[in-house]
Structure 1
Amino acid sequence: MLMKWLAGIFLIGLLAYAGWNIYAVQKSPKEGIEEGMKAPDFTLETLSGKSTSLSDYKGKKVLLNFWATWCKPCRQEMPDMQELQKEYPDVAVVAVNFTSSETNSQTVKSFADTYHLTFPILIDKSGVNADFNVLSYPTTYILDENGTIQHIRVGTMTKKEMKQKLDLK
């Protein structure tokens, strides 16, 4: 009789555990590069050689921008990105440079110095831009505090558009 009770309790516990796991998996967004998905994590070096991961910014809204120095629209939006970072320090502006298309890393550093950029510029020699299916520059991903992609924009964004997509006042 005691064995039947223990087996019943064990079975109920097992079913509850399975139900909870199914609920937890359905509740969290799948990883991917489309709106509503959790952005895939990556680790790259900054211009100063420090290793940085996208997951380091969890808990903050993120403007993840893919760009290159030779891209004229990228040059247009960089000052707006810098102003946004200054005005909203709780928002992470992260710029991933398409480094394999650059002459060298010094070109990227000179660009950052010219535009007085203070947000992290990540050097992409490993193909993260391809992982995000970036076909045109600039391409910007807006992520919420949990790393979920809220918006994808191919082309230049103004500061006003950045604020709107980040839901800033």
Structure 2
Amino acid sequence: MAARRRGTTAAALLLLSAMVTGCGGAASAGTDGPGGDPAAAAGAGTAATATVLPVAERLPAPDTAGRDLAGRDLALRSYRGKVVVLNVWGTWCAPCRAEAPELEALRGALEPRGVRLVGVDVRDRSTGPAVAFEKAYGLHYPSIHDPDGKLLLAYPPALLNPQAIPSTLVVDRQGRIAAAVSGPVTRAQLEPLVTRVAEEGS
């Protein structure tokens, strides 16, 4: 019972701390690189929300797969046995630019503990702006190129809304969705949650 209360409290804290503005579906796709106009890129903002799922209620994550920004095959299933932070982003999205350094810091801190970050770059028609984005923010994790956002349609809309960018999922070692955050996050907000998932069964 105490463990359940702690989990509920952590979920509530994450929810409160994540109440920020993200990019809505109205942002224009593929027009801005890392130096684009943040005001234009923001589009219609929506308040971010977070959902933390008890182990018994977790659903298998879809087998998201495609080509990364370098043209190599990349599939979520290849990370089974690792905790995966799956971040959906686009170069046209101002909050995505704000959270990119935070996600890279999270990667550096948690990769030694079996955590991997994977991005899904959506609505960028070509990979050029996305590659420039990675270089500008020093990102060292791969991203699948999904110009039409089709990969997102395989996810339950309640956990991953294709119109809410950025969005982040935490996938546990068994390939199940453990948590979902709609809106930009910081390392401080996300790290305790990811750490808890990484420590499950240890």
Query: Normalization by structure 2: what TM-score?
Result: 0.62
1:128 aligns with 2:151: yes
The equivalences for 1:130-149 within 5 A come to 130-132=153-155, 133=157, 134-149=162-177
User: Pairwise CA RMSD of aligned residues?
Assistant: 1.8
Which position in structure 2 is the counterpart of 1:58? 80
Larger radius of gyration: 1
1:21-72, Cα deviation, whole Å (9 max, x unpaired): xxxxxxxxxxxxx941010102111111110110011111110011111111
Instruction: Please give the alpha-carbon distance, in whole angstroms, between the structure 2 residues aligned to 1:80 and 1:50.
Output: 25
Which position in structure 1 is the counterpart of 2:178? 150
Give the percent of matched residue pairs that are identical in Structure 1 and Structure 2: 28
Aligned residues: 134
Which position in structure 2 is the counterpart of 1:87? 109
The Cα of 1:151 is off from its aligned counterpart by: 0.7
* Corresponding letter in the other structure for 2:151: V
Secondary structure of residue in 2 paired with 1:153: strand
* Corresponding letter in the other structure for 1:129: L
1:97 aligns with 2:97: no
**Which structure 1 segments of 5+ residues have no match?**
1-33
Name the one with the larger helix percent: 1
The Cα of 1:103 is off from its aligned counterpart by: 4.5
* Corresponding letter in the other structure for 2:185: M
Instruction: Please give the alpha-carbon distance, in whole angstroms, between the structure 2 residues aligned to 1:145 and 1:103.
Output: 32
1:89-124, Cα deviation, whole Å (9 max, x unpaired): 2211001000xx225210111111111111011111
The equivalences for 1:18-37 within 5 A come to 35=53, 36-37=58-59
Secondary structure of residue in 2 paired with 1:130: helix
* Corresponding letter in the other structure for 1:53: A
1:123-146, Cα deviation, whole Å (9 max, x unpaired): 114610222342210011111111
The Cα of 1:161 is off from its aligned counterpart by: 1.5
